[in-house]
């Protein structure tokens, strides 16, 4: 059975792979599981049929027979539990890899995502510069702690795991910022993740959605 995920019909980041379907696509590519994608518009995401799948009107979702799931972290864990390659066999190592999944989403992502949101929604507010400095201070603190833990290792705890997969997608939100460059081992860690063939296939697949949409909009006789 081929699972179906949802993704944005129109990429808000112009195909940079920052939307959360990227995490699920990457996990699926790592384990070699084919999947289908249903694209949803921003309007359709607020409709009852989508809210039944995703109560917060977001993407991605997961449909596999009579199972539906939401939350990218939960979907990645679901994939990792059912296929080899994203979680260690050893029970303790597996629990630690899952701890890194939660660290990525509950410790690292909130301040990093706040910065993304502030840069979009608060740029014209009188407090923007001050607020950004506060946020970046919080992010720097977490990056410093993470860099200290990673040290010279390739991955956070032994082999590449779902914890690294989520952490790399979270840190990628800082691509091109000084924040990430200030920690060379973290910048190299992100690059190491992005160099994985499965990442490349997932990235290309989500970019193709944006490219196709752009062609439709600029082409002759295309839909809009």
Q: What is the sign, positive or negative, of the torsion defined by CA atoms of 60, 64, 65, 68?
A: negative
Q: Which stretch binds its own copies (CB under 8 A): 5-13, 25-33, 97-105, 184-192?
A: 97-105
Does 63 engage in binding with its own copies (CB under 8 A)? no
Which member of 41, 42, 102, 200 binds its own copies (CB under 8 A)? Answer: 102
Does 106 engage in binding with its own copies (CB under 8 A)? yes
Q: Which is nearer to its own copies, 125 or 217 (CB)?
A: 125
Does 157 engage in binding with its own copies (CB under 8 A)? no
Q: Which is nearer to its own copies, 146 or 213 (CB)?
A: 146
Does 66 engage in binding with its own copies (CB under 8 A)? yes
Q: What angle do CA 210, 22, 205 make, to 5 degrees?
A: 45
For tokens 């939307």, name the residue.
Answer: 19
Q: Which residues contact 34 (CB under 8 A, 6 or more apart)?
A: 2, 28
Q: Are strands 4-8 and 36-40 parallel, antiparallel or unpaired?
A: parallel
Q: Which is nearer to its own copies, 125 or 159 (CB)?
A: 125
Q: Which stretch binds its own copies (CB under 8 A): 10-18, 21-29, 126-134, 205-213?
A: 126-134
Q: What angle do CA 22, 26, 31 make, to 5 degrees?
A: 155
Which residues ranging from 26 to 45 are in contact with its own copies (CB under 8 A)? none
Does 99 engage in binding with its own copies (CB under 8 A)? yes
Does 103 engage in binding with its own copies (CB under 8 A)? yes
Count of residues engaged in binding its own copies, rule: CB under 8 A: 45
Q: Are strands 67-70 and 61-64 parallel, antiparallel or unpaired?
A: antiparallel
Which member of 34, 55, 176, 221 binds its own copies (CB under 8 A)? Answer: 55
Does 143 engage in binding with its own copies (CB under 8 A)? no
Q: Which stretch binds its own copies (CB under 8 A): 10-18, 53-61, 183-191, 205-213?
A: 53-61
- Please give the residue ranges that form the binding site for its own copies (CB under 8 A): 51, 55-58, 66-75, 77-78, 92, 95-96, 98-99, 101-103, 105-107, 109-110, 113-114, 121-122, 125-127, 130-131, 134, 142, 145-146, 148-149
């Amino acid at each position: 059975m081929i699972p179906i995920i949802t993704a944005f019909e129109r990429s808000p980041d112009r195909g940079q792979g920052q939307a959360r379907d990227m995490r699920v696509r990457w996990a699926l590519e790592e384990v070699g599981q084919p999947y289908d994608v249903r694209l949803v518009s921003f309007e359709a995401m607020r409709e009852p049929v989508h809210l039944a799948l995703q109560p917060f009107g977001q993407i991605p979702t997961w449909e596999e027979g009579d199972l539906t799931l939401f939350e990218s972290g939960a979907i990645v864990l679901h994939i990792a539990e059912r296929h080899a390659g994203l979680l260690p066999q050893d029970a303790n190592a597996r629990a630690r890899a899952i701890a890194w999944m939660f660290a990525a989403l509950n410790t690292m992502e909130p301040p990093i995502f706040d910065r993304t949101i502030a840069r979009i929604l608060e740029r014209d507010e009188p407090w923007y510069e001050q607020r950004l400095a506060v946020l970046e201070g919080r992010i720097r603190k977490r990056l410093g702690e993470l860099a200290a833990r990673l040290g010279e290792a390739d991955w956070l705890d032994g082999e590449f795991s779902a914890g690294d997969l989520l952490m790399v997608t979270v840190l990628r939100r800082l691509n091109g910022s000084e924040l990430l460059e200030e920690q060379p081992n973290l910048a190299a860690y992100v690059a190491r993740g992005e160099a994985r063939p499965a990442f490349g296939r997932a990235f290309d697949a989500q970019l193709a959605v944006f490219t196709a949409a752009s062609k439709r909009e600029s082409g002759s006789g295309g839909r809009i």
